[in-house]
Structure 1
């Protein structure tokens, strides 16, 4: 289906950097990342979380490195992880040096917490020597004293000035493998800061509304802030900060990108809120299908509509559709066309089977096309 003009999002032009082998910025897809909550020096627990995040589709995973035990554990963690690992560094610049030596693909530093320019310069030298990129992490809650004295309080101008000052420190050290975040827990402050920063530099931007809250409120808050920025074409990698299982951050991140047509992974379910017209329990059915189809990474669409009011129309727009019918017989649509009926007792298993088969067909066609391209080359 062609994309209608009003759906077009023109992403901001910026330079491309790499976090390990994952491109960020430029023409690269917007990446989705999260952060582990385990003690990093507990390698087993940390790797268990990383594996779950990888399975959920995380492109990049960040781990906190507050002490020597954590940076020492990075050597084993980075050797086992399938995705690039970002070392989160605060206060002690030596942790950054150790993390770079032990395999971190990127160093997340808040220069205001690192200390003198000389210490930042040492971090830059370690990053260069080990092929690390750097994320400058500006946060409204930890702005430098001189900026707070100048502006009186955290504001977009202070946050952007902080980011530009630290960019200059890195550029003076001939370092340009940099991405930047400008986070705040206040949606308006965060959006304004990112919008100004997007105009002030050409570095890729890491988006986030920091300390957004628990699963429901944090999802809503992040969706408003990040959605405004992404719709404006701003943002190259995202992290949804939730007080919840980190896997939920990945799920919400992909849902945001899917909703805006910026990136597609897994099954996009279109479903009605249900009402007295429903011919089967829509809410419970969708809950079960979301869980049972969570392993599907192939982009595809599925509509689950409880009656014939909007069902046929939605089914025409999805790969597979289901519309509630009378006497426990429900219509199944394939590629927008009515195909067959399914009864209540077989409904969920049948839809799961259809989705899995469709995903296998799509992947087979993709592999065949890729094989043809490689043969031609």
Structure 2
């Protein structure tokens, strides 16, 4: 089968690139996955512990709320401990932005229009420039400016785009261009239309999100519909899945979304059947346990878990490792799409984990050997 599949190609929107700490955003850089801590920021230990879990899940950038002086005072220690760039989330109080920039923030999340007049925007810009900070403009359908609501009557795509353009101008008037923009809404149709309109109007990186999306299941579905549409259209340089769930779950869902579209390839991509009475083993339990036990694998590879031989062999031919259920507790193992050996039910789970770990090590070794003569540039990998 040919590896050239033009019907899978996604042509990404051309945007200019900015740096969030050491992580490139926009241009030809991989789409980054972000999340946000939900611990009280002054609780330094709890916040760092949560950041560690998010880093382990693969977060490229993490946002930390800074609503008061206690938070910005704690931010310095948190930023020193973090292994990924941190975004300081600022609302209304421009001095918190100045403090966070001095404390090590790689990016400031602000609405330039709600932190005061032009003189205060100028101070924030000076602090950002002095500390090498980027800025994320965050427009939200739930907090549009009063004059835009009066003009349009309700939140609408045009209102979100106009708000973003007004905020962009405030930064550009102070000769600041290291910014990315989000036009989030909890309404999928509103958010998608706003992002599509903004994508045509600007060349800066766009941060995707469906805000207040909901719980783990509902929010995942809602976010996947909205951001999936945009990503499939080539729009989006960085994203956050906003869930009423632990932040590391947001990271995992974000990567699954990008993996499904072939835009990022971190970790194990599992292909599994929904199971039926033909299954030769408990597929649902097996996949649940494997997803938990394989979270530490960062190397991109594919694994198919199929309960019977109806679709199993076909799916196994397309994955690095595959299992199809057989009779009498005896199941076929496929390696690189080729039948290789059998495994018994009692040994299957540990055996699959061992096969995945071995395959990941082989891929990493091969990649390391290739890189010896071709150094990898700084930043993240796909």
User: How far apart, in 1, do the equivalents of 2:78 and 2:143 lie?
Assistant: 29
Q: 5 Å matches for 1:65-144?
A: 65-144=66-145
With normalisation by structure 1, the TM-score equals 0.98
Secondary structure of 1:372's counterpart equals coil
**Are the aligned partners of 1:303 and 1:322 in contact in 2 as well (CA < 8 Å)?**
yes
Using the TM superposition, give the Cα deviation of residue 43 of structure 1 relative to its aligned residue in structure 2, in angstroms.
0.6
Name 2:171's counterpart in structure 1.
Answer: 170
Secondary structure of 2:109's counterpart equals strand
Name 1:61's counterpart in structure 2.
Answer: 62
Secondary structure of 1:373's counterpart equals coil
Using the TM superposition, give the Cα deviation of residue 328 of structure 1 relative to its aligned residue in structure 2, in angstroms.
1.0
Secondary structure of 1:314's counterpart equals helix
Name 2:45's counterpart in structure 1.
Answer: 44
The question of 1:150 aligning with 2:151 is answered: yes
Deviations 1:26-60 (A, max 9, x none): 00000001000001111101000000000000000
Residues 242 and 3 of structure 1: CA distance in aligned 2, closer, same or farther (over 3 Å): farther
Using the TM superposition, give the Cα deviation of residue 133 of structure 1 relative to its aligned residue in structure 2, in angstroms.
0.3
Secondary structure of 2:34's counterpart equals strand
Name 2:370's counterpart in structure 1.
Answer: 369
Name 1:308's counterpart in structure 2.
Answer: 309
Using the TM superposition, give the Cα deviation of residue 91 of structure 1 relative to its aligned residue in structure 2, in angstroms.
1.1
Name 2:345's counterpart in structure 1.
Answer: 344
Name 2:257's counterpart in structure 1.
Answer: 256
Deviations 1:328-364 (A, max 9, x none): 1100000000000000110000000000000000001
Name 1:270's counterpart in structure 2.
Answer: 271
Task: Using the TM superposition, name which of 365-374 and 10-19 deviates more.
Answer: 365-374
**Are the aligned partners of 1:112 and 1:142 in contact in 2 as well (CA < 8 Å)?**
no
The question of 1:243 aligning with 2:274 is answered: no
Using the TM superposition, give the Cα deviation of residue 112 of structure 1 relative to its aligned residue in structure 2, in angstroms.
3.6
Using the TM superposition, give the Cα deviation of residue 374 of structure 1 relative to its aligned residue in structure 2, in angstroms.
4.6
Name 1:10's counterpart in structure 2.
Answer: 11
**Are the aligned partners of 1:112 and 1:143 in contact in 2 as well (CA < 8 Å)?**
no
**Are the aligned partners of 2:267 and 2:300 in contact in 1 as well (CA < 8 Å)?**
yes
Using the TM superposition, give the Cα deviation of residue 3 of structure 1 relative to its aligned residue in structure 2, in angstroms.
4.3
Using the TM superposition, give the Cα deviation of residue 116 of structure 1 relative to its aligned residue in structure 2, in angstroms.
1.9
With normalisation by structure 2, the TM-score equals 0.97
Give the gaps of 5 or more residues in structure 2: 377-382
Name 2:25's counterpart in structure 1.
Answer: 24
Secondary structure of 2:191's counterpart equals helix
Name 1:212's counterpart in structure 2.
Answer: 213
Deviations 1:101-150 (A, max 9, x none): 11100000023432222222211111011110000000111111111111
Using the TM superposition, give the Cα deviation of residue 2 of structure 1 relative to its aligned residue in structure 2, in angstroms.
2.1
Using the TM superposition, give the Cα deviation of residue 170 of structure 1 relative to its aligned residue in structure 2, in angstroms.
0.8
Q: 5 Å matches for 1:315-326?
A: 315-326=316-327
Secondary structure of 1:322's counterpart equals strand
Secondary structure of 1:179's counterpart equals strand
User: How far apart, in 1, do the equivalents of 2:55 and 2:33 lie?
Assistant: 11
User: How far apart, in 1, do the equivalents of 2:348 and 2:36 lie?
Assistant: 37
User: How far apart, in 1, do the equivalents of 2:287 and 2:84 lie?
Assistant: 31
